Amino acid sequence: MKAKLNLMRLGIVLSSILILSGCAMFRAKVSDTDVNKMPEFDARYGPQDLRRLSDEISTEIAGCSILTNQPTSPIMIIYGVQPRTETFVDTQALTDRIKTALTKTGRIQFVNEARRDQLMKEQGFQAQSATDDTRTAIGKQLGARYMLTGALVEMRKTTPAQVRVSKTELMYYQLTIDITDLETGIVAWSTQKEFAREKREPLIGW
């Protein structure tokens, strides 16, 4: 009887602690994470891959011969990286980071192809409504000499159906970036990056 009473008292004390603490252990928690040390929760393409690939590609392009041998900063247009993946991958985020990094070097200029319609609309408005001293001249946009394109390929493998205590998933990615000379149509520069990641998880768990 005494042991039962002590157990009840212990239960009341623990319940009181949980109530007074506001059940902190069950609350959602939000905190900042260092973008340079983001964890990998699965084997799929993630933000850490976006950062690493864009940094590697922009560094290679900045040092390639089509830039170092030019007397002036060449003009480039980005027509995107084709995502050949099962899952959605925002490849525009990849080219945005590449463009930003290369623009900061001052060694290359980019045509704002994403805002071309807005540029034409603004020029049309200025031609009709702006004063002569503030009007932007029509037909003065510079044409690109080079075009950046590419493709991101994803391949997925999983362990076959068999007696096992864990499941393994292997993800393989290959990124190809091409720079084409628009005057000749020849691929002036190209590079490839690849990586694979494996995830193993138990069949029983949560």
How many domains is the chain partitioned into structurally? 1
Contacts of 180 (CB under 8 A, 6+ apart): 146, 147, 149, 186, 187, 188
Q: Is residue 58 part of a domain?
A: yes
Q: Is residue 115 part of a domain?
A: yes
Q: Is residue 140 part of a domain?
A: yes
CATH number of the CATH domain containing 167: 3.40.50.10610
- Residues 177-206: pLDDT tens digits? 999 999 999 999 999 999 999 888 776 555
Radius of gyration of the chain (CA): 28
Confidence at residue 43, expressed as pLDDT on a 0 to 100 scale: 81
- Residues 43-86: pLDDT tens digits? 889 999 999 999 999 999 999 988 888 888 999 999 999 999 99
Q: Is residue 13 part of a domain?
A: no
Q: Is residue 14 part of a domain?
A: no
Helix (H, G, I), strand (E, B) or coil at 97: helix
- Residues 12-41: pLDDT tens digits? 656 665 555 555 555 677 777 777 777 777
Q: Is residue 174 part of a domain?
A: yes
- Average pLDDT on 103-132 reads 73
Task: Name the pTM for this structure.
Answer: 0.73
Q: Is residue 5 part of a domain?
A: no
Q: Is residue 175 part of a domain?
A: yes
Confidence at residue 50, expressed as pLDDT on a 0 to 100 scale: 95
Distance of CA 14 to the CA centre of its chain: 46
Distances (CA, A) of 8 to 3, 23, 29, 82, 163: 9, 20, 32, 64, 46
- Average pLDDT on 114-122 reads 63
Which structural domain range is residue 82 located in? 42-202
Give the helix/strand (H/E) hosting 56. helix 47-62
